[in-house]
């Protein structure tokens, strides 16, 4: 099983597109503040 630090490092490299079409690395959201990260799966 991966350690918490390993998971954080892997999550940090994920790139997301914001509403303006700009690509941001996930780590940029928690660089300056604490965040709550939730994954929601859409059915339908």
Whether residue 25 is predicted with pLDDT greater than 80 in this model: the reply is yes
Nearest to 26 by CA among 41, 40, 9, 42: 9
Q: Which two tokens stand for residue 39?
A: 């994954």
Q: pLDDT confidence of 31, banded at 50, 70, 90?
A: confident
Owning domain of residue 41: 1-44
**How many domains is the chain built from?**
1
pLDDT at 30: 87
State mean pLDDT over 5-30.
91
């Amino acid at each position: 099983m991966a350690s918490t630090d390993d998971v954080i490092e892997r999550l940090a490299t994920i790139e997301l597109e914001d509403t303006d079409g700009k690509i941001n690395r996930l780590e940029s959201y928690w660089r300056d503040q604490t965040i709550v990260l939730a994954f929601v799966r859409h059915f339908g």
